[in-house]
Amino acid sequence: MTPDLTADVEEYLLAQRDVGQLRFLTCGSVDDGKSTLIGRLLHEAGLVLEDQSAALAADSLRSGTTDGEPDLALLVDGLLAEREQGITIDVAYRYFATARRRFVVADTPGHEQYTRNMVTGASTADVAVILVDAAKGLLTQTRRHSFLVHLLGIEQVVLAVNKLDAVDYSREVFERISAEYRAFAAGLGLTGVTCIPLSALRGDNVTAPSPHTPWYSGPSLLEHLETMPLPGTAADPRAFRLPVQRASRPSADFRGYAGQVAGGSVRPGDRVRVLPSGQEARIARIVTWDGDLDEAVAGQSVTVTLAEKVDVSRGDLLCAADSPAQVADRFEAHLIWLDEQPLTPGRRYLVKAGTRVVGGTVTGLRYTVDVNTLEQRPAEQLALNEIGVGELALERPVAFDPYRANRDTGGLLLIDPESQATVGAVLLDGPLRQAANLHWQAVDVDKRARARLSGQRPCVVWLTGLSGAGKSTIANALERHLHGLGKRTYLLDGDNVRHGLNRDLGFTEADRVENIRRVAEVAALMVDAGLIVLVSFISPFRAERNMARRMVEDGEFCEVFVDTPLAVAEQRDPKGLYRRARQGQISDFTGIDSPYEPPERPDVWIDTSAHQPEAAAQLIVRRLRAMGVLS
């Protein structure tokens, strides 16, 4: 008789429907056995299929790291590079279930250089399993990951003291490591810590109590994960939040707003506020593929319709009208830096806030945190994997909650506008009070009125190139020519500005960024005044030149690359700076020990070996005529 598999599957799915789901991550230092632990969980829970077991046996023989025994870490390490090096590089998610609970586990890397992947795995986890090698004890990565786990709002931590077989299942070692960790966690404010002695390699206390640790009476790791309270099982106390991912209008009589509920719950008839606009409306329907709902709760993906016609678009946040999120463009925030190039205050980044992307700048750093001692230290930059507190300014206001109140609406990502790589994570602490008191004052006489009075179109002509390239000489010739044409101009020269406005700045990368930011702001004000502004600055970084371009309108910026080979500029050396830099008397000198990033697509390219200053000025004039700046 053929077994009724359909009935078995339906019975299984019915049983699984009500068991609840727990999301956890494994983290810690490299070689602490994270992948082996997950592989052991999958293996002993009977979730490894026959063909996977066969492949695992073959791969284990090939890798030769376990003396012929199955290397359970290979069940998780999916990338070729991971298998070759025996490390975890990317975040690997695994889904498994027992009779008591469903699990989503994120296996995250231990290497410091892959901290960004650990942060990614932790950002959606409810519980952290932090592994420690019993023979090594707490390491810097143990402390860094614990700090990040706490910072990212995970309240429940399992300290898995692994590889206990390597220390003869020593109770003393386990208790010493546990005590040391509890003291460190208490300093962070982490109180939900459970310590379990393990050997993932031998299977001790992973899914069942081990005979090798008769002195331990607590649960196995799996039992603990199966029985701990599920976060969010009680009524979600948070206010309703729905980041709008998509405005849906499949027909003329339907307009809905799709997204995943990021907090609280909502019912038809509830009043909601649309942020940042502040308009209000009532929920008309909660639409899903399986039909309308009477209520939507956190974690559900739904489409809502509104009873009143208000303007809602992708990136907006629907909130409970009686408990809305805040709206601001200046914040104090914790920053986690994830890029090899340091975070430099003043540099422009793209900021992803929910489904909205705006420009933004870290305007200042207050301190960085030593993850070993939790000491706060003054900082001008954040290096890879450093954590600090600073101030963030956005180009447009966004709706938000403090991260501690809502992880989904309180976290932002920083993106490099050039490479499009994610370079930092931002956890919002709150708005800056000072920003709430600042308002833009409208004036009646605008840029166009001033330009008409001057009889010209304002513009920024930005000359960039190495020191000694000839920028100032060409800018001077250009201004003479424009003056002869009756144009109102002003020349901002790098050396001259450093005698006054920027005399407090040095030549570190952070100071150079601030130097250009200030000059770009001044140039933009002068354009607003109706002038043609000539800017002669080395301006070595593309990011800052692009920032200056964005500060004025399209057609108001002309980038001129004064291209002179370093050897030629060094031979000219009109101020003796190259000689002093070569002798070590000047540090951070562009072209010597500080980089110069040439423009990729300048509006005017001047080869100074082929053009004298007057001829170069004529090239720029022709370009300004083509742009419509000069008639």
Cis peptide before 599, with omega less than 30 degrees from 0? no
Q: Helices (H) and strands (E) in the chain — how many of each?
A: 17, 27
Tokens of 17: 């429907």
Rounded to whole angstroms, how far apart are CA atoms 362 and 514?
A: 11
Rounded to whole angstroms, how far apart are CA atoms 249 and 258?
A: 11
Question: What angle (nearest 5°) sits at the alpha carbon of residue 219, between those of residues 201 and 129?
Answer: 60
Nearest Cα to Cα of residue 42 among 67, 74, 13: 74
DSSP string for residues in 530-593: T-EEEEE-----HHHHHHHHHTS-TTSEEEEEEE--HHHHHHH-TTSHHHHHHTTSS-S-BTTT
Rounded to whole angstroms, how far apart are CA atoms 432 and 330?
A: 6
Annotated catalytic residue: which of 60, 199, 536, 539?
539
Nearest Cα to Cα of residue 393 among 439, 346, 442: 346
Tokens of 168: 């003869």
Mark whether 539 is an active-site residue. Answer: yes
Q: Hunting for tokens 């003393």 — which residue is that?
A: 172
Contact assessment for residue 466 and residue 536, using Cβ atoms and an 8 Å cutoff: no
Residues found in the chain = 631
Buried b / exposed e over 191-202, threshold 16 CB at 10 Å, is eebbbbbbbbbe
| Beta bridge pairs of residue 241 | 263, 319
Tokens of 257: 């707003």
Rounded to whole angstroms, how far apart are CA atoms 609 and 569?
A: 11
In 57-126, the DSSP E strands lie at 92-97, 102-107
Contact assessment for residue 351 and residue 412, using Cβ atoms and an 8 Å cutoff: yes
Rounded to whole angstroms, how far apart are CA atoms 269 and 292?
A: 14
Residue 462 neighbours by CB under 8 Å, 6+ apart: 523, 535, 537, 539, 545, 548, 549, 557, 558, 559, 560
Contact assessment for residue 195 and residue 161, using Cβ atoms and an 8 Å cutoff: yes
CA distances from 158 to 19, 127, 372, 407 (A): 21, 8, 19, 21
Tokens of 90: 């990317």
Residue 222 neighbours by CB under 8 Å, 6+ apart: 41, 44, 45, 98, 206, 207
Q: How many CB atoms lie within 10 A of CB 433?
A: 10
In 370-458, the DSSP E strands lie at 376-377, 387-400, 411-415, 422-431
Q: Which amino acid is at 460?
A: V
Q: Which amino acid is at 348?
A: R
Maximum C-alpha span of the chain: 102
Rounded to whole angstroms, how far apart are CA atoms 16 and 230?
A: 15
- Point out the residues that are catalytic: 539
